[in-house]
Structure 1
């Protein structure tokens, strides 16, 4: 009876770890997708805001390796390897929870820092090619203008990227039209880029949170199964 129980737990844990290894690959893919999505506007985003997807990719790699350890430990019926596997899962779980709590606590600071970076960069638009390219890119891609709106641009310096692209068959808008347009004009993007970028970052954060919660649940199940199998092996011995 004891041997039957041991075999059942062993193969359940083995199958579980195969699924867990695939979820590790899923973590890597999710982190890479979010990083490419938000990283395009990294000029306006502090390095610490790009940390979560990078951490997710690292955790995905670790999860894949730990799942392999769990598979090997289950097949070999090694008490030591199974306990090491459970401890590794517990450490990963604690690290994920810590990152999530830190991100929630410092969310307001991240928003404030991002807005300040955008304001400083906007005032350097004419002096810095990097800032100019970054602003033209974000305004064209996100269909926005300025930090909080078109009024952020000093008089006569509003770039063409603040305005809608030329429609086929329409007369090309002259630069002064874009510079002299006021908020509410159809030619202008009237939404600020800070809100658009914040929405994009929050959308990506929600994806990471969903994936992280799912993986955390899987990790708890993995810890319980590993401890159960390790206990069965110890009783057998």
Structure 2
């Protein structure tokens, strides 16, 4: 006769897998949102920050399959399926933990990395660099690395980009603000892009850390439940 405790564990595991599937959806959405948000800044980041959200997107999709396997294994009371479920959960746990740690390490070195990348880009000032700068400066309402003087001191042509112009100070005929008087108050964005970009990417890294590590430790519960249920089923079959 099946023990009452084993039956309870089976239904707890079944309920857990529903939560697990929802968490997979959360991981998938978080990865997509972060990837979309950093898409405009990828010129300065290359693949360093794109790998973690892409990994989470893949994991989010994989989790749906693992959750189905756990539910099926619990209903069929199959020790083999439950062990495979626990193993896959363990692999996902390690990957998510790795993503969280990688995001932590990247966040710690973010300012130094960004400063070097932005400086090299503004020094080159080729068409790709300038397009990327225009996108960032318009979206984040910033100018240069620490301010608009960087364009005069570092760039090739020593000209401040029109994307540095504050929206309310743009001349409709020239589509920039360069013809405004030098004394025109704050015609350029005064904030540098380094601080704003660091803050924006840092927030995304925090999201990855929270989702990756938070969900990973919750999955430990599923591993324990699956192993316990598999062991209970084997004991019952022996008896």
TM-score (norm 2): 0.87
**Displacement after TM superposition at 1:212 (Å):** 1.9
Change (3 A) 1:197 1:187: same
* Equivalent residue for 1:137, pick from 135, 138, 144: 135
Change (3 A) 1:168 1:47: closer
| Cα separation, 2, equivalents of 1:187 and 1:133 | 21
Deviations 1:27-69 (Å, cap 9, x if unpaired)? 1111001111112211111202111111111111121111111
Unaligned runs of 5+ in 1: none
Between the two proteins, the alignment pairs up a number of residues equal to 232
* Equivalent residue for 1:175, pick from 178, 181, 184: 178
**Displacement after TM superposition at 1:26 (Å):** 1.3
TM-score (norm 1): 0.88
Summarize the alignment of residues 214-225 of structure 1 with structure 2, pairs less than 5 Å apart: 214-225=214-225
- SS of the aligned residue for 2:152 comes to coil
Unaligned runs of 5+ in 2: none
After TM superposition, the runs of 4+ consecutive aligned structure 1 residues lying more than 6 A away are 168-173
**Displacement after TM superposition at 1:174 (Å):** 4.0
| Cα separation, 1, equivalents of 2:227 and 2:164 | 59
Change (3 A) 1:10 1:181: farther
Change (3 A) 1:50 1:37: same
Deviations 1:126-181 (Å, cap 9, x if unpaired)? xx322222111111110101012212112650012112013699998642448x57
Does the 8 Å contact 1:46/1:113 carry over to 2?
no
Tell me whether 66-75 or 96-105 shows the greater mean CA deviation.
96-105
| Cα separation, 1, equivalents of 2:194 and 2:168 | 24
| Cα separation, 2, equivalents of 1:174 and 1:5 | 74
Aligned to 1:154: 152
Summarize the alignment of residues 96-107 of structure 1 with structure 2, pairs less than 5 Å apart: 96-107=96-107
Change (3 A) 1:196 1:80: same
